[in-house]
Structure 1
Amino acid sequence: MTLIALNKPFGTICQFSAHETRASLGDWVKTPGVYPAGRLDADSEGLLLLTDDGALQARIAEPRHKLVKRYWAQVEGAPGEETLARLAKGVDLGDFVTRPCSTLFIADEQIEALWPRNPPIRYRAAIPTTWIELAITEGKNRQVRRMTAAVGFPTLRLVRVAIGALDIFALGLAPGETVEVPDRSPWQRAR
């Protein structure tokens, strides 16, 4: 069994076949026979796990296993504690209501650990931005972006920083870098 962690760069699509205008997983992952355990949309970046083990892929990706995935979202505006409480409670997105999750504000010194995004987000001096963390156990299409927009604070940058016990900072991965990880760690719950 092989398990690879990738720091998926912004703009990369979660498929191996070449794309006309975007990078694909094949540009970064050279290990044959592995497939993503879950997805990150092209506009999101951060930790993506790939494996050649179908059962492990299901344990990581399927919401019924309730594996915690932590995201850092840079949102437009300055949400307060009440907004984080609304996100934590679960948000009605029209087609479904999100499960309860954990939320918190991210300190400026923590953000310094992030790599610069290429290209950077558009800077607007008159509109502040705030970094928040959401720890969710499901992963529907563009869920975090839809959640923050639903409470009035659209996501400008989204980085998945952890899956279960695997943390991208502890792994020391720069964008586009991969590392093989122990087969038992990703589905353990983060503490």
Structure 2
Amino acid sequence: MKKLLIILSSLLLISCSNSNTGNPNTSNMSERDMQRERLVRLAIERQEKKEAAKKEELRQKALAEEAAMKQKEAELKEKAAIKEAEMRQKALEKEAAMKEKAEEAKRQEILRAQEAKEKAAANAAAKEQALKDQRLSREEIFREIIEINNELDGKNVSKERLAELQKRLAELEKLNK
């Protein structure tokens, strides 16, 4: 394009110089020379407009590419932000689930401890009741032994009753040990 401009401007200069050399009055150019000069100028202007249009087109293309790159960068940043937010959300959900599991385990441990405590209390109560029962039985055994001894001390006991009382006394003494 620049070569074409150079050629056209050269032609213009040549035509101007040719017309000036023949005439001593340079201000009076022939109609033909003026037309040629106008055509050359028009061609130069057209060429300049084409070049300007091409430059503008290239500039617009570069701007469009830059805008596309910026948009891509923005999309990538947005995707990265979304992914980071999702990862943070998953981490929070995982942490919440772990806390919930820990709390559930703690509740279960508390329930087991409470059940063990209640069981131990029930066992202690049962043992205490057994000891009371045993004491009562021993007290009853001692009373009965005393009654038998008192009855044996009495002289109005028949032989059958005496054998019965002695047998019962032997059983009670076995239980007392």
* TM-score bracket for this pair, using the shorter chain length: under 0.3
| TM-score normalised to structure 2 length | 0.16
Q: Which structure has more strand as a fraction of its residues?
A: 1
| TM-score normalised to structure 1 length | 0.15
- Rg (Cα) greater in structure: 2
Higher relative contact order (CA 8 A, sep 6+): 1
